[in-house]
Amino acid sequence: MNTNRLFFRKRTKELINEMLTYSKEEQMLFFGFSTKEQLTYKLKRIEEALSKENVNYQIFDLVEKKNKIVIGSCGFHNWIKNHERSEIGYEIHKQYQNQGYMSEAIKKVINYGFQEMNLNRIEALIDPMNENSIRIVTKNGFKQEGILRGHYKNNNEFENSIMYSLLKSDYDFN
């Protein structure tokens, strides 16, 4: 998958397992990180994801074509195939925020979810304080469904999430 400015590198289990054999410096380049703290956090999340059985995901690393570096990721996790739904997730490195990269990426990923993964429903669970994320999903047709109280544990504190969803029947594929 490509856009004008991005190449989407499919993150497979094989690719992750290979990456885990790299040096820390090579792993930082793989993810486009500038600090070891970022890498440590990402590796912890990957370890958690790989340890869960029957959890399906489809994540893409966003590679900027111009500089050939990873600037973020976008894709699906908590994919429940028999119910044809998944949760979308995305992140972009700070220096690339507010430049339209995620708006460019999320459209392609939503299309991929509906057309290639045969999803009927895409969910986004968002921190109520994350205005940029809320703007991205609402701009792409997601509808707010409600607040999930005490849904997410962050630094030993339970936080709320806002549930947004997008149905295939509501999506404009143009």
Count Cα neighbours of 67 within 13 Å in the Cβ-side half-sphere: 8
* pLDDT per residue of the chain (174 residues) written in tens, 0 to 9: 999 999 999 987 777 777 777 788 877 777 777 788 888 887 777 776 666 555 588 999 999 999 898 899 999 988 999 999 999 999 998 889 999 999 999 999 999 999 999 999 999 999 999 999 999 999 999 999 999 999 988 889 999 999 999 999 999 887
pTM over 0.95: no
Three-state SS at 158: strand
Is residue 159 a contact partner of residue 153, using CB atoms and an 8 Å limit? yes
Check residue 141 and give left, alpha or beta (phi > 0: left; psi -120 to 50: alpha): left
Q: DSSP H helical segments within 1-130, as ranges?
A: 13-19, 24-31, 36-51, 101-115
